[in-house]
Amino acid sequence: MRFKHLAPALLLGAALVTALGAAPAAAQQDMAKFKQSQPTEPPSLPKIAWSFDGPFGTFDRASAQRGFLIYQQVCSACHSMNQLYYRNLSGIGLSEEQIKAIAASVQVPGGVNDQGQPIERPGLPSDHFKAPFPNEEAARAANNGALPPDQSVLELAREGGPDYLYAILTGYRDPPAGLKMQPGMSYNLYFPGFQIAMPQPLQDDSVQYTDGVKPTLDQEAKDVVTFLTWAANPEMEERKQTGVRVVLFLVFLTGVTYATKRRIWSDLHH
């Protein structure tokens, strides 16, 4: 009789044990499926046909100027450009008057006044680009402990160069279901580990262009990457032109040498 009363309890206990044992197993299976569905490495970088590619490539000045506008209105809030002077902007086709106006729009340290207090003055073309933060500690404090890299030579410092920068700027996605994101991080398809401290900086209509070009995410990314590539390689075109001249000279010299050799040996045979 006691067994009859105990039987339902035993059956209920067995069911609970089975359910509790099945829950972790199901969770493990779900996690295994999630890991299988997610890549462990970022995909191959997109290959963009840049105007500056190849031995005869040149910078698209209009694109570089739009890219500077993006740096000015978006990137400069966090990223410095310590290797550039305002006067260098003549390299992307800006006039002297435009450069003076851009420099004067910022306030830079101007020494001290008669009371020994630090003062500021309008920028000059001979000044470096103004940094967004006074020091590294302030930069980290404003960016969840991450230090925004200086963008002067960013294109040279990243494997893949302009293609990598373009991929990062256009690679933001909603995180996959089941992926635990760290606080303050964003999901990026092309960033190692897929979690990046920089929030998505660009989207459609992030800026307003004045030349009629539509500011899509793709266009904005290409423009700012063109500007950053120029910033890291301001003498690229000159180097390419020098290289072409050297190659042409070597071809000419080889032809002259060959012709001279043939003539000398021809005279000896006669």
Binding residues, as ranges, are 75, 78-79, 198
- Taking only Cα atoms into account, the Rg of the chain, rounded to an integer number of angstroms, comes to 30
Closest by Cα among 7, 106, 102, 59 to 237: 59
Which residues are annotated as part of the binding site for heme c?
Answer: 75, 78-79, 198
Pairwise CA distance, residues 57 & 36, whole Å: 42
- 120 forms bridges with which residues in the sheet? 109
Helix spans in the chain (H) = 2-37, 61-73, 96-104, 136-141, 154-157, 161-170, 217-232, 236-269
β-bridge partners, 112: 118
β-partners of residue 109 are: 120
Residue with tokens 């995909």: 43
Helix, strand or coil, per DSSP, at residue 86: helix
One DSSP character per residue, 4-42 reads HHHHHHHHHHHHHHHHHHHHHHHHHHHHHHHHHHS-SSP
> Which neighbouring-strand residues pair with 85?
128
